[in-house]
Each structure stands twice: as structure tokens, then as C-alpha cells.
Amino acid sequence: MRISFVIPSRNNLKYLQQAVNSILDCYDTNHDIVLLDDASTDGTWDWIQSLEGDHFVKYRNEGSDRVGHTILYDKGVEISKTEVFSILHADMVVSQNYVPNLLKHLERKKVVCATRVEPPLHPPGPEKYVRSFGLEPEEFDKDAFSKFVWEYEYLKQDEVTDGIFAPWCMYKEDFQAIEGHDKLFAPMELEDSDIFNRMYLAGYKLVQSRDAFVYHMTCRGSRFKDGLEIEAEIPLPDGTIWYKPKDSEEYKALRAVKFKEWWRKWGCNVLHDELMLPIVPPRYDIAFKVSNCSLQALAVLEPWCSVISSDANYAQWLKEEQKKTMFDMWKRVKPWNAPLENDIVVEFDMKRFTQESYPIIQQLSQIIAQSGEVGEFELDIFKIRIKSLTTYQDKLITSSDPYYTDQLL
């Protein structure tokens, strides 16, 4: 089966060249490569234009500002010409049997991801292998990586486990059925966790092929730059060292904004099991009613509920916060005397709020699910009144659902 590799890139030329060369080095080269340049200034578009052959599909964001992977992945799928596509990061190197070792597990309503091999720049986990074959293309040890792949393709032949993360492949029609990525998370950060939640809620089977390998140079172009700085060397329980890189300032700023958007949408933290299979708690319609509420407290609490009613003088803060979000803040933030018709109302005094209170806010949906009944109860400083235990997480599968769109500008 012919597939399309969908690869966005911004100012990542040497990594992109390496990724494309690894695809061309596959045993089966009868595949399309969709290359999307995000307003790069490093010669990326000139290089893409120089590539010859009908199997290259090319697109450029001509604007001066980046639009991000969230937008370009969907554009790449849209202009792809095959039934099946594979999302690939520009800083990944695919193994020669990558395609057949994914496709042998693929069917409709199923998403198959590969197994990452990474240098120790992210915390380890059972879903990947931590091995260093180089941090930059010019030092990549192709022979050593190939030797590793040959050994583990044999040891893990045909093995699958549950789980999902990049890179992954699926049918184009299934991707478009859930309307692709949510533009809420453009230009980047948490767009992958969001779509994984929605795939899971849509009933798609999410699996990892344990003999399809990529080497991942780890977040080049968004989080870490060429010649990245190591921030700390952290010993792990198994005796190995995790080298924590220094995040870019752009990444840290976007991360702070996009996590708030995530909490507003999902009402919980990003949750998954040890193999990265999503865990999606119930999404309830929750209102907070908070007395003695400062603006600092309001900023912390607001993303964790559907509506917050407080005695804070919030007008100017609300105007500034609205510039950072796609949610309609005027629907979310209410004065103290506003009537609250939400399914669940949580009332508390901010003067009694302690360090132990915040984890309860973060896990409120799980706590309410365990309570299991309509009525009132108290927990720590919180008085919780439940009128209905209706859940709304299935209303978040597509970004055009009226329940969801009604919350946005």
C-alpha cells in the first residue's frame, strides 16, 4: 500500500533533509512525501522546490508568521493523494522497514504508532528505547542505529502494545471524520495529546508497533534548538542519566498559554498510562463560587471550571486574559451574585485555600465521578452541590460540536 509521509518544518533544514533521505533509503520507496514549509528563513523552501519527482507534494506558508504544526499537519493530510498517511516530525529518521511494520497492523478505525529511539533528553519510559546515536545530523551514527534496528526487529517481530504518540499512521478518512487537529492548540503544544484523547473517545484502536522504529532527534525547531544546552544531569533509579535540555523561551511561553487552553477544554491534566494510552476522565459542567478571591487566585482557578463566580474586581484582568485564549471569557467569569445554573457548583472561601487544596481542584472530575450520586457533600474546604452527573467529554471529539463551539469566540 502506498502512503504519504506528512512532514511540516520551520527552520529545520538539516533535520528535514535527513528525514527525507531516510524515507528515500527505505526498502520500499513507492510512497509520497508531503513537505510543508512554515515560513522558514533558512533556505528550506528553496531546497524543497529543488526536489524532483511526482512523489513530492509541496506546500509553503507564505506569511511572515508561523502557523505551526497544528495547522500544517491538517493541510498536509488534505493535499495528500493516498488513502493512508503517516505523521512524521522533521527531526526523525525512519528505519528501512518502517512502512511495512506499521501497515501490517493497520485497519479502519485504528491508529498505529512506531517505536521511538531517543537520546536521553526526555525522561525514559517503557514505550521507547533510550539510546544515543547522535544529537545532530552531522554526528548521526547510521550504522549503529541500523544494527540496533536489525536486532530489535527480530526480537520484537510482529509485537504490538496499546499506546499512541508520534509518529503514527492512519486512514485519511478516519482522520477527517474527527476533523483533524483542534486549532485551539495552534501553533503548537498539546495538539497531539488533544487529538489522541479524541481518537480514544471516538472508539479508535490505538496501538504501537514494536518493530517499526524511528530515531528522534527530540523536538528540534520548537522546544530545543541546534546546539542545545543541557540544563541538568538527573540520575535515574536504574542508574542511567537523564540529560534535561534547556527549553527555548518561545516554547515556555506557548506552553503556559496552551496548558490553560487544555484545562479549559478538558477540565483535567494530560493523563495517560505508562504506555501513553490516553486516560480521559469525565467532563462535567462545573461552576466555582469563590469568596475573598484575589486576581491571582482567579487566574489560577478559572481554567479548571466552566464558570467562575467571585468577588474579585476582574474587569481589566478579563480584557487582558481574553487576548490569550479562544474561549469566550465573558461567559466563563461572572460576578459574585450571578445565578449559577451549572450541573455542579463548588463553593469555597479563598482564605481557607491551602497547598493541599489545589490538587483537589485538579482531580475534581475524578473525585466527582467516584461520588456517584446527586446531592451535596463537603471535601476539605469545598462544599459541592451536584444537580446532574451528565458528562460532556464525547462532545469534544470534533471541534465543530455545538456544545464546544458555544464556549469559543
pLDDT band at residue 21 using 50, 70 and 90 as cut-offs = very high
Cα(174)–Cα(166) distance, rounded to whole angstroms? Answer: 17
The pLDDT value recorded for residue 76 is 98
Cα(27)–Cα(72) distance, rounded to whole angstroms? Answer: 28
pTM: 0.96
Q: Is 255 left (phi over 0), alpha (psi -120 to 50) or beta?
A: alpha
Q: Please write the tens of the pLDDT for every residue from 302-355.
A: 999 999 999 999 999 999 999 999 999 999 999 999 999 999 999 999 999 999
CA nearest 215: which of 126, 146, 276?
146
Would the pLDDT of 222 be above 90?
A: no
Record the cell numbers describing residue 8, joined without a space.
Answer: 511540516
| Residue found by looking up cell 450541573 in the block | 343
pLDDT band at residue 29 using 50, 70 and 90 as cut-offs = confident
Q: Before 8, cis peptide (omega within 30)?
A: no
Cα(65)–Cα(42) distance, rounded to whole angstroms? Answer: 14
What domains, with CATH codes, occur in the chain?
A: 3-262 (3.90.550.10), 286-390 (no CATH)
Residue type, 211: D
pLDDT band at residue 238 using 50, 70 and 90 as cut-offs = confident
Q: Residues 241-280, buried b or exposed e (16+ Cβ, 10 A)?
A: eebebebbeebeebeeebebbbbbbbbbebebeebbbbeb
| Residue found by looking up cell 479563598 in the block | 350
Q: Please write the tens of the pLDDT for every residue from 127-173.
A: 999 999 999 999 999 999 999 999 999 999 999 999 999 999 999 99
pLDDT band at residue 372 using 50, 70 and 90 as cut-offs = confident
Which phi and psi angles does 225 have, rounded to 5°?
Answer: -105, 165
> 256-260 — which CB contacts under 8 Å span 24+ positions?
257/324, 257/325, 258/185, 258/188, 258/189, 258/190, 259/189, 259/190, 260/303, 260/324, 260/325
The pLDDT value recorded for residue 65 is 86
Record the cell numbers describing residue 407, joined without a space.
Answer: 464556549
Q: Please write the tens of the pLDDT for every residue from 35-67.
A: 999 999 999 999 999 999 999 999 999 988 889
The helix (run of H) or strand (run of E) holding residue 365 is: helix 364-371
